[in-house]
């Protein structure tokens, strides 16, 4: 229930940000200078967010572009950092996550004759919950970075390469060797 609520809140946040961006776009699209700035921001990000146009006008398009090209110079919002810090699987290496997942299978096979059907079912449920947790936290982090990150160009590039090299998370795992 709590996960579904969080997912709906994330969807709502996306809709609000998109709606405010569109509203901001419609209110400021009258001048050619604004149109040029809006076009630039939209090409370098996931879309114009409230305050982006004013920030680019204040700092200048060249400074905005340089900041996006050098993401280490831009601080992200504390809200993003706080959210990401709560996701405990992101700090772990893929190897340790995979090992923990495979440990469930190992315990199931090793103790097959000693475990009752109920205990086997509990181990399978724990394994599946762990897998879901890893997938959900990775998805949530990806989405929240896209929404809240100040480094929008970096996030657009991450999204491009993520989609280019992505493997479906529910794909069956095969071990070779």
pLDDT tens digit string along 63-117?
999 999 998 888 888 999 999 999 999 999 999 999 999 999 888 888 777 888 8
As a 3-state breakdown, the chain gives helix, strand, coil percent values, each rounded to 5, of 75, 0, 25
What is the rounded distance in angstroms from the CA atom of residue 56 to the CA atom of residue 159?
Answer: 23
At 177 the pLDDT is 47
pLDDT tens digit string along 23-67?
555 554 458 888 999 999 999 999 888 888 999 999 999 999 999
**Res 166 pLDDT > 70:** yes
- Give the pTM: 0.68
Largest interatomic CA distance in the chain: 75
| CB atoms closer than 10 angstroms to residue 145 | 19
């Amino acid at each position: 229930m709590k996960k579904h609520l969080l997912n709906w809140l994330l969807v709502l946040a996306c809709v609000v940000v998109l709606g405010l961006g569109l509203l901001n776009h419609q209110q400021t699209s009258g001048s050619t200078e604004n149109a040029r700035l809006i076009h630039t921001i939209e090409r370098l990000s996931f879309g114009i967010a409230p305050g982006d146009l004013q920030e680019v006008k204040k700092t200048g398009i060249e400074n905005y572009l340089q900041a996006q090209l050098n993401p280490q110079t831009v601080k992200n919002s504390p809200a993003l950092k706080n959210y990401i810090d709560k996701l405990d699987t992101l700090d772990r290496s893929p190897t340790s996550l995979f090992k923990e997942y495979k440990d469930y299978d190992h315990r199931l096979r090793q103790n097959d004759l000693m475990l009752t059907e109920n205990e086997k079912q509990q181990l399978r449920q724990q394994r599946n919950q762990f897998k879901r947790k890893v997938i959900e936290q990775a998805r949530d982090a990806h989405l929240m970075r896209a929404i809240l990150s100040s480094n929008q160009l970096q996030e657009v590039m991450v999204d491009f390469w993520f989609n280019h090299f992505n493997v479906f998370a529910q794909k069956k795992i095969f071990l070779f060797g």
